[in-house]
Structure 1
């Protein structure tokens, strides 16, 4: 029931090598690629000058910036930046979240060949996370820094690492910050056309920080070529992007490659409109998302699984919003984790009821280092969890084990050449054939039919062995346990390395516990509540009856009292747990988990 013209069929070429590796490529040719993001901006300012490109909430309505207005402001800001002496060697640190001024500054820097370094706003707003901000500043040495509100970001602006760095703020107040409006005045002494002519496909225009889930965040230099190629690859696979201008209402943060490169550039490359959602899929902020969607709905819907789960409930309760949401919808795209199948089916059913057909429901796979998309499920499927086939121009190397679980490596024009300031790390990130070693694992949906695609199967580095020698695939097990313990568990960490049994450290959803009537007490960093312990034990015991062996059977659990700390590195900026850091910082709680005499330890019958 998906429109047949809305997607391109998979075409996969498979090569089985004598060494056991498998090479997958696309049978389709790569389309025409722009040289720079400025080419897109000039195109749409000429073809659709009055069409909205960027918009953000302003009072009861929206501040909307058309393509022609954006181009004019981008050129002025670019001149102002170059007039200050900024160039390819003087990055701009962006400490604030998504916003029109953030977008204008970023595009102006790209236009002039000046790298921008957007970081998670939590790094600046949470004093405990300032060490991460300092790490980024030390790594990139910015010559200018931007914050939307100098008062709100005052503590970060005052860091000694930013002494001597010009601070620009949209709302400078009485601080030392330069008003953003000053940049809009440009610099008459700068030949902007000549500056832009010196920018090419290999110019580094963005340094994105990795999530830091296994180490300190690394700086990924992103070029115009990487971003422009990736948009061509996706539009080749999804023809509807070129058939009509896409529209999104999107909250995904621009410091992350999903929101800031994938979604932002998809609108710019295809003449679309990006309405910045200042809500978020968390309690207290999701209501703002619903308000925004009541005003504008998109043709594409991007989100993480928890966001789609919350949205599904809201759509069920609001007939008017439901009809508006699905009216022009071409795509439902999830990333970050597998979408629960019941949520997937809920959207399918709702779409059929509203419009008689289902938008393309899909996911993709890629990394910060790959700009990001390498695999995309671009033909309809009935199941969540499939990340698809190689995009045009991508070569995927799979290294299967005896169980056909494959380590995945990739090569292509959208992949970085190395990390900023860490040549040793970069050298170890590529194999002898130049494939980027991702550390991720995949499995074929159907080993005999590669065109059916691949599904993500966790991180190789997260796997561990029990004392029995049994391998535990921690990433896949974590997703299964989150489903089993939903909504009581907000997240969890799998344990058992060099132990006899698998355990789990549970980070609870405090609101879900309260809603369920639990009132746990703290006991030395753990939470105890007889009813909660019994419920967790019951669910895990029921699951244990269908477990396939010791590699998936959980024998014990402990509920954490303290949330994961961003400042201590237990949580990344995009909300993922750093399991290694959690286990190191909470070593005493890990020992308690394996102490049968500890009253906080939950033992699972039958495990």
Structure 2
């Protein structure tokens, strides 16, 4: 099969190739590939009717539902650039992305998990569409309800090298950066993932990874688009609900962070459900315990468990293969895929080069030049080792980062928010081990003279300004932070010091 070079072409091909195949299964909503294409074209027509097309940018901030699939593909079909926004973001974080991306439109959930996503946003983009995730809500001026979206679309005019999406990732400087990819690149990494996973139209893919993340969007929606697999979205991961979906939807493919599988294994009602349809799991971390991989086979029933390594700037760089032995899968993150070259640079930093390295960071040539050198190598900030047969083992994070529940957290961003509190003079955040989430944040705080604030008040301040996974779990107060002669905080000493 020849790989389509644009997302509209891929959707057209899927509708022709799988005329009766189920594209999306979300509760009562069941869409075949032709039906999905029809809804996507209506959404693209709606955008076109408001002057949104090639060169424009549209953000989507909503949980995993069929609406996201239609809206996200509709944006891409129209020729506009898709800007996924985390539903975990606070209003401040969301507005920062919308402003810097200069979006012309926003598709956003109404109430979700008891919180109104619209009420705290000001100013709003000219085109607003509200998704009724938790039922209908009172009308808002200037906001189009999902049920009122109408439009007709002609022929897509987008090209392979046009920017398909901008994914914002936190930065080591404390400010997020927008990684830009072209249509050919988004499809290239999705095709590589689908090939390694042997994804096919017979698969039913439970997507618990958020669609706003490259894993849920490119290794999820786009991988299914290219293979004909059915997308089964889950709004919020919940062990019992996930187990029931596996049983009721006859799920075959379930990727996720290691914590997803550990939580399923620990679920007290796990043996109440029929998990016999599961065939493939794909996970990744610096280290995946061999015991976890073994139990994923024996207790969850997966035929194949694969590990992978990627980052927003490259999506999927390495991936194991179904023929790899258990110990290799547990200890390594696979071999290069998606046409990537891989080598180790200074301090064993993992360097990547190939046609699917991001185009660059939005409006940030300095950060782009720092990330991609003159020879085209992407400097990942991660250190690794290569086995004799080319398998990659992640050994360290060279940049200041920790991973909680599968999400990257950059301490610099959390530290910046901490120091905006009027009582806090200085702050440092480190990742500490956690049995379920892998790592969680621990904040060390220095107060201004005569200032007083409790740990609980510090955490409330963080919750008001940061996505929940970025909020530290604990806080300690210090007189001073340990620093070297150049003034750099010695986080190694903080990590080694017992909390309290």
Are the aligned partners of 1:305 and 1:334 in contact in 2 as well (CA < 8 Å)? yes
Mapped to 2, the partners of 1:170 and 1:363 lie a distance apart of 34
Q: 1:457 aligns with which of 395, 401, 407?
A: 395
Could you say what secondary structure the match of 1:346 adopts?
Answer: helix
Match of 2:251, SS state, is coil
- Asked whether the equivalents of residues 75 and 111 of structure 1 are also in contact (C-alpha less than 8 Å), the reply is yes
Q: Structure 1 residue 211: deviation in Å?
A: 3.5
Instruction: Name the structure 2 match of 1:366.
Output: 310
Find out whether 1:241 has 2:199 as its counterpart: yes
Query: How far did residue 80 of structure 1 move?
Result: 1.7
The C-alpha deviation readout for 1:110-142, integer Å capped at 9, x for no partner, is: 11211121111132xxxxx22211211220111
3-state secondary structure, aligned to 1:369: coil
Over 3 Å counting, the alpha-carbon distance change for 1:588 and 1:304 in structure 2 is: farther
Q: What TM-score comes out, normalization by structure 2 length?
A: 0.79
Partner SS, residue 170 of structure 2: coil
- Greater radius of gyration (CA): 1
**Change over 3 Å in CA distance of 1:296–1:166 after alignment to 2:** same
Residue in 2 that maps onto 1:319: 271
Contact kept, 8 Å, 1:147 with 1:169, in 2: the verdict is yes
From 356, 360, 366, the equivalent of 1:424 is 366
TM-aligned CA deviation for residue 84 of structure 1: 0.9
Partners of 2:290 and 2:461 in 1: CA distance: 27
**Contact conserved, 1:116 with 1:207, CA < 8 A, in 2?**
yes
Cα offsets for 1:435-490 (capped at 9, x unmatched): 1111111122x3xx133x11112221239xxxxxxxxxxxxxx99x62xx636996
Contact map agreement 2:286 2:394 (CA 8 A) in 1:
no
Which of 7, 14, 26 is residue 44 of structure 1 equivalent to?
14
Q: Is the 8 A contact 1:299 1:329 kept in 2?
A: yes
What is the CA deviation profile of residues 261-311 of structure 1, one whole-angstrom value per residue up to 9, with x for unaligned ones? Answer: 11121111100101111331xxxx433323323322322111111111111
- Residues 87 and 376 from structure 1, CA distance in 2 versus in 1: closer, same or farther, beyond 3 angstroms? same
Q: Which residue of 1 aligns with 2:298?
A: 349
In the TM superposition, 1:432-443 aligns within 5 A as 432-443=374-385
Alignment of 1:208-607 (within 5 A): 208-212=167-171, 215-238=174-197, 240-242=198-200, 244-280=201-237, 285-314=238-267, 317-321=269-273, 324-325=274-275, 327-336=276-285, 338-350=287-299, 359-370=303-314, 372-378=315-321, 379-383=323-327, 384-399=330-345, 401=347, 406-444=348-386, 446=387, 449-451=388-390, 453-462=391-400, 482=433, 486=435, 491-493=440-442, 525=454, 562=459, 565-569=462-466, 575=469, 602=498
Query: Structure 1 residue aligned with 2:35, among 44, 54, 69?
Result: 69
1:161 to 123, 142, 151: 123
Alpha-carbon separation, structure 2, partners of 1:214 and 1:224: 29
| Cα distance, 1:345–1:139 mapped onto 2, change above 3 Å | same
SS state of the match for residue 254, structure 1? Answer: coil
The change in CA–CA distance for 1:202 and 1:525 in structure 2 (over 3 A counts) is same
Secondary structure of 1:207's partner? strand
CA distance in 2, matches of 1:237, 1:490: 28
Residue number in structure 2 paired with 1:512: none
Q: How far apart are residue 236 of structure 1 and its match?
A: 3.9
> What is the match of residue 145 of structure 1?
106
- Separation in structure 2 between the aligned mates of residue 577 and residue 345 of structure 1, nearest angstrom: 32
How far did residue 253 of structure 1 move?
0.8
Looking at structure 2, the residues matched to 257 and 155 of structure 1 have their Cα atoms a distance apart, in angstroms, of 22
Residue from 70, 77, 85 that aligns with 1:104: 70
**Is the CA contact 1:246–1:298 (under 8 Å) kept in the aligned structure 2?**
yes
Q: Equivalent of 2:131, from 148, 170, 182?
A: 170
Give CA-to-partner distance per residue, 1:338-369, whole Å, 9 cap, x none. Answer: 33333222122236xx6xxx622121111111
- Could you say what secondary structure the match of 2:399 adopts? helix
In structure 1, what is the Cα distance between the partners aligned to 2:436 and 2:178? 35
Q: What is the CA deviation profile of residues 62-101 of structure 1, one whole-angstrom value per residue up to 9, with x for unaligned ones?
A: 3211111111111121122112101233211222222211
Q: Which has the higher contact order (CA 8 A, sep 6+)?
A: 1
In structure 2, the CA distance between the partners of 1:89 and 1:213, relative to structure 1 (3 Å rule), is same
Aligned CA distance change for structure 1 residues 524 and 578 (closer, same or farther; 3 Å): closer
In 1, the alpha carbon distance for the partners of 2:481 and 2:239 equals 34
Gap change, CA 1:590 and 1:233, over 3 Å in 2: same
Q: Secondary structure at the match of 1:241?
A: coil
SS across alignment from 1:174? coil
CA deviation profile, 1:408-461 (whole Å, cap 9, x unmatched) = 1111111112111112211222112111111111122x3xx133x111122212
Q: State the Cα distance separating 1:210 from its structure 2 match.
A: 0.7
Corresponding residue of 1:547: none
Please list the CA deviations of residues 494-540 of structure 1 after superposition, one character each: whole Å capped at 9, or x if unmatched: 99xxxxxxxxx9xxxxxxxxxxxxxxxxx97569xxxxxxxxxxxxx
- Which stretch of structure 1 is more off in the superposition, 292-301 or 248-257? 292-301
- Whether the aligned pair in 2 keeps the contact of 1:305 and 1:338 (CA below 8 Å) is no
Determine the C-alpha separation between the residues in 2 that align with 1:100 and 1:376.
28
What pairs with 1:183-202 in structure 2 (closer than 5 Å)? 183=149, 185-187=150-152, 192-193=154-155, 196=156, 198-202=157-161
Unaligned runs of 5+ in 2: 402-429, 446-451, 483-489, 491-496
1:396 to 1:32, Cα distance in 2 relative to 1, 3 A: farther
Q: Are the structure 2 counterparts of residues 145 and 494 from structure 1 closer, same or farther at C-alpha, using a change threshold of 3 Å?
A: closer
Q: CA deviation at 1:229?
A: 1.1
> Relative to structure 1, is the Cα distance of residues 158 and 229 closer, same or farther in structure 2, using a 3 angstrom cutoff?
same
Query: What's the secondary structure of 1:221's corresponding residue?
Result: strand
Cα displacement (A) at 1:149: 2.0
Deviation at 1:179, TM superposition (A): 1.9
